[in-house]
Each structure stands twice: as C-alpha cells, then as structure tokens.
Structure 1
Amino acid sequence: MSASPGPGRPGPARGVVVTGAASGIGRTAALRFAALGDGVLVVDLDADGTARTVEDVRSAGGRAVGLCGDLIEHSVVDEVARRAVAEFGRIDVVVNNAGVMDRMSAVHETDDAEWERVIAVNLTAPFLLTRAVLPHMLAAGSGVLVFTGSEAGLRGGAAGAAYTAAKHGVAGLVRNLAVMYRGRGVRANAVAPGPVRTGMRVSPRPDADGPRVVGPLVASGSGRLGEAEEAAAAIVFLASDDASFVNGAVLPVDDGWSAV
C-alpha cells in the first residue's frame, strides 16, 4: 500500500483508531483507511476478528495493530489512546463504531441489564474514548471524530427503546462536540446507516410488543439492505479533507429511508 495522497486525503500518513473493527462496517473502514496509507489501531472485543483484520491490512502492505478490550472500561479506553500515540505518534482520526443492538423491547419490556449494556456500549463508551483522545487532538490543533449512529437516531420506529435512546444520544453528542471544538481544529460527524448486511445480530423477544410494533415499520420503509462498504465509504469521506467544512452532521446512509 502506498502512503501517497488519495482523493480528499492529506499527504502524511495519519494515526487512525477504529473501534468495532473486527467485522462489518468497522473492519471495512479500517481496511479503507489502511489502503490510503494511514496507520490503523484496530479495536474490538473479538480477539480472533481483530487479528484477522490486522493480518489482512498487513498482507496488503498496510500498517495496523490490534487491541482487544471492552470500551466501557476506563483502563481499556486509556490504553487505546496510549497505544495509538505510541504506535503512530499522533491521533488524527477516531471512528467510534463499536455497538450492540437491543432486543427491540418497548420501555415497559426493557430490563435494567438490557438498558444499561446498550447505553454503555453505544453511548457511554464513545464518550469515554472521545474524552480520552481529545487532549491529543487539541494539542495538535486538529482531529476528526466520526461516529456510527443509526437510522434509529433519526426516528422512533427503527429499534427498541434502549438502542433508539442511545443513538439519539450519539447524534446529540456529535452536535455538541462540533459546537464546542469547531474553533480548535476538531471536527465531529456521524453516519446514520439503515439496515446493513453485517455481523450484528438482532434477537428480539418473540412475546414482546416492541418487535410487533417496530417490525412492520422497518420492513415497509427501509428498502434494500446496505453493504458495509457503503457505510465505510461515508466514514472515510467524513474523515477526509474533502469534508473539511462538514461539522456536526449526521449523514444518513440508508437508501432514502430517512426521507420517507
């Protein structure tokens, strides 16, 4: 892989962190960044998947290192920031992509465990990692934060209560980051994919109201399944110089579902 500039991308290789990069959108984004010459820190709970992504990058001539851990743990978050700086000397781009689905449960069906895990992984963990890397970006006077939101962050009928609340929270976090740091060289944006063909699995409660209510809405409005490459391409664009004036945006990648 060459580190020469590609479309919308600065000359020097960047230090990029991608979470949830063992599979799906995160893996594809990591491979795309590496193909541009960036060094990529691949972060995921799945040790085998992390190793495969790293190996695929290296086999193609790129630079990647892996780190396994749960991003709701402060020690793991701190290690991500430390390792990225140690490996690349800088943190230019962070892709907060790791996430889990809920069980499509309505509020009265959502127990504490489901709520707390979904909010922790989808909202608290991105907050923690963003907080950890911001000092490095602010010291450099530049940086890009890209979040994987969801169609569920744009509407109320695309998932259960926990996932919907978490992804609406991601959209709010992105907009607040844009306002707070736009004068200091740091941009924040999100993609909001519709249904995408990835390894993320939904296990709805068959006896619950949530799937019965939400299921027909998703089936009638979502159109075709997207591909991980389509969402990853949008992530790489938002991290590029071509998007240098894009800040605080939540970009639907959903074949027009949000326009229905």
Structure 2
Amino acid sequence: MDLHLTDKVVIVTGASAGIGLATAQLLTDEGAVVVGVSRQPVESTIGDAGSVIAADLTDVDSASRIIETVVERYGRIDGLVNNAGGLHLREGFLSITEEQWLAAFQLNFHAARRMSRAALPALLKTGAGSIVHVGSESARLAATYNPDYAAAKLSLLSMSKSLATEFSPQGVRSNVVTPGMTRTPLYERRGGFGEQIANALGTDVDGAIEQVLNNLRPTLTRRMAEPNEVSAVIAFLISPLSSQVTGAEWIIDGGALPQI
C-alpha cells in the first residue's frame, strides 16, 4: 500500500531497536525521509536520504537541539514518532524510590512532552503534521511490578488527547499506539524485562512469557506481537491516509484489554 509518505520528514525516537527500528525501516520503505534518534547506534536501514541523531532524551536540552538540527538539514518536519521508553520490574509501590519515580517519568513521559513541544512549530507550518506516541497496555492494566511506568504512560495518553484537542484544528494530529507484550529487546535482552519477570515468577523467560500471555494478562491471540505489527499501525497514523484520525488510541495487544 502506498501511504503517500514520499519525501515526508519523520522523526522516530528510540530508533535503534524493536518498535522504533521497525518503524524507521517501514517509513523509509514507504519513501519517507527518516531521522532516527537514539542513545545507541542505529542500523543503516533509514536510506541515504535519512540521518541519525545521537541523543539522550532525558536531557532537558536534547529535544530543542534535535528539532533545530532536523529543520536545518531538511527545512521541515512532517511527522514525529515518540517511541523512546523503558521500564524496570518493581517489587511494589513502597519499593520505588523518589529517584526511580522521576527517572520513569523523564524517559516515558517528559521526553515525549519535550519532543512534542519542540516539534510543534515546525509541524504546524506544514498544515498537515502528525504525532504518534507509543504508549503501553500498562497504562490501563497497571500491576504491582510497574506502577511508575504505568503512571507515566497514562500521562502520555492524556497529553496526546490534549494535543489533539488544541492542534488538530490547526492541522496537527496526535494519536497513541498502545502495544501489549511485543517481542523487542526490552523483553529479550540479557537482564531485560523478560528476565526480570522470569526471576520474579521462578521460571525461565519463555515460561514467564507463557504465564503472562495465558494467565496474568491473557491474550486472545495467545502470542506476543512482533515489532512490524505495531510499526504498521504507526506508519498509517503518520500518513495522510489517516487524516481523519486524531485524539485516538489504537490498542495492539492481542485482545488482552477487556474494554467496551
């Protein structure tokens, strides 16, 4: 499908792995000029027209620097994918320190807030900009092991609704994609969330994922999502084909969230 993204300049944060990498690749394949932002090196999957910016989004000055660099290089910004995020397993609410609460919000909410604020003037100039925030099912299915992360992602959802309300009439849409468990390095890397859950449940990573998918947060599909299944929705929401979609939340969790 042609998403009408040829030569559109799109920033993707957290572009070095998982959903961010899959999104950067798909947007590039659709003809977009992708700027991948990450603390880690980004694979050369964004084409000759695209570029990479190394940045730590928890640095309060990074967002303005990134946007200035992109506008200087390309003269415009058509889309922003706020994908960067991360979490750590907690033992419960009382175990979380002040520093951990602040760190969770810095990475999972304030980074996206600062990027959105910095990018909006350029997005407004296009008259047809799009922001997609990557949330989490944890925002609606909070548990004892991630209350700080869940709260930050719920704040992200609220912010997206506010941005949509204020800026959609001016030509900039804002939507949230909410993945459930997705097969990314967040779960699979050594010491990652999958291993943390496995240690808490007294099993191996595969056994822990099986318990989550079938018992703790049962999905109708009985499997984890793949990054490309999430990136396909993100690319659609960035594209002009979704011009009537704003202020929405698109849940990609295999049917785990029981809501009407």
TM-score w.r.t. length of structure 2: 0.85
- Residue pair 2:213, 2:223 contacting (<8 A) in 1 also: no
Aligned residue for 2:120, secondary structure, equals helix
Alignment-derived partner of residue 163 in structure 1: 149
Alignment-derived partner of residue 65 in structure 1: 51
Alignment-derived partner of residue 98 in structure 1: 84
**Runs of 5+ consecutive residues of structure 1 not aligned to the other structure:** 1-5, 209-214
1:7 and 2:2 are equivalent in the alignment:
yes
Root-mean-square deviation (CA), in Å?
A: 2.2
Distance 1:7 1:257 in 2: 31
Q: Pick from 92, 96, 100: which aligns with 1:110?
A: 96
Alignment-derived partner of residue 211 in structure 1: none
- Residue pair 2:12, 2:81 contacting (<8 A) in 1 also: yes
What one-letter code is carried by the residue in structure 2 that aligns with 1:116?
A: L
- Residue pair 2:109, 2:153 contacting (<8 A) in 1 also: yes
Distance 1:158 1:137, change over 3 A: farther
1:26 and 2:25 are equivalent in the alignment:
no
Distance 2:163 2:65 in 1: 22
1:121 and 2:120 are equivalent in the alignment:
no
Superposed displacement of residue 112, structure 1: 1.7
Q: Pick from 147, 151, 176: which aligns with 1:190?
A: 176
Superposed displacement of residue 121, structure 1: 0.3
- Residue pair 2:17, 2:185 contacting (<8 A) in 1 also: yes
Superposed displacement of residue 69, structure 1: 1.3
* Equivalences for residues 46-65 of structure 1 within 5 A: 46=40, 48=41, 50=42, 52=43, 55-58=44-47, 62-65=48-51
Distance 2:38 2:85 in 1: 10
What one-letter code is carried by the residue in structure 2 that aligns with 1:142?
A: A
Distance 1:165 1:219, change over 3 A: farther
TM-score w.r.t. length of structure 1: 0.85
Alignment-derived partner of residue 43 in structure 1: 37
Distance 2:253 2:39 in 1: 27
Superposed displacement of residue 236, structure 1: 0.3
* Equivalences for residues 243-258 of structure 1 within 5 A: 243-258=242-257
Distance 1:230 1:205 in 2: 25
Alignment-derived partner of residue 3 in structure 1: none
Alignment-derived partner of residue 189 in structure 2: none
Distance 1:132 1:224, change over 3 A: same
| Identity over aligned pairs, percent | 28
Aligned residue for 1:41, secondary structure, equals strand
What one-letter code is carried by the residue in structure 2 that aligns with 1:8?
A: L
**Runs of 5+ consecutive residues of structure 2 not aligned to the other structure:** 187-191, 202-209
Distance 2:150 2:91 in 1: 10
> What does the per-residue CA deviation read over 1:65-123, in whole Å, with 9 as the maximum and x for residues that have no partner?
11111112232111210121122211100000000113234211111222111110000
Count of equivalent residues: 240
Superposed displacement of residue 204, structure 1: 5.5
What one-letter code is carried by the residue in structure 2 that aligns with 1:235?
A: I
What one-letter code is carried by the residue in structure 1 that aligns with 2:239?
A: S
